[in-house]
Structure 1
Amino acid sequence: DELVAYLEQDRERVTDILGWWMKKQETFPRLSRMAMDYHCVPATSVDVERAFSQGRILLSHIRNRLSAESTRSLLCLGAWFKTGLVQ
């Protein structure tokens, strides 16, 4: 399991997170793709709900108190599920 192998690694100081994941693509193919997706999300002042086409589905009136971080995480997980990166 990639996640277990990643978590069992010794920690190392990294200044270029995207470069590190690029180097680890062969070792962690799924995790590296997920990490690069997550770390490449651009910062924006646009309301998160309007920035993504599925915003209204995710951010219903019931879930309107989710933080931007939680919303970003849910959108990433949804995309990864659709592409088969997570099950």
Structure 2
Amino acid sequence: MAKDRLETDVARMINVERRHNDNTNINDGNTADCESLMDQEKDENLIWTDFDRICKSRKEIDPKAAAILEVRSYLAEDLISRKENPLEWWKARAAIYHHLAKLAQQYLCIVATSVPSERIFSKAGQLISERRSRLKGENDKIILFLHYN
């Protein structure tokens, strides 16, 4: 399930990235079209003209397929040692696993401890007691918010 979720997240990122690139190309299209027409007339005899045309007409891989390939490639990597820093590992491989590196930044920043939540619960236990049984729930939330922040 985790692998499927990861593939879905990466595919979603690829779709957003492609939509952004398409919008950018559309906005820049007016001036780029005029320039490209002039360049085509000048460069018709260049050897790379056919190559450029083929590259532009090449179909892009499906976002879901690209996501599956990226996740499979990542899962085929050797495991890092316990003493190695995962953030440095991701920094070194950000160019290889571009979309997964963004997800790693998103999820590796999460605090891996339950201390903040335990503090909130203990403060709530001190706040809501028999002595304060008439305190409304809305006020409880406000007081806890103010105390925590």
**With structure 1 as the length reference, what TM-score do the two structures score?**
0.45
Q: Which has the higher helix share?
A: 2
Structure showing greater relative contact order (alpha-carbon pairs closer than 8 Å, 6 or more residues apart): 2
Mark the structure with the bigger radius of gyration: 2
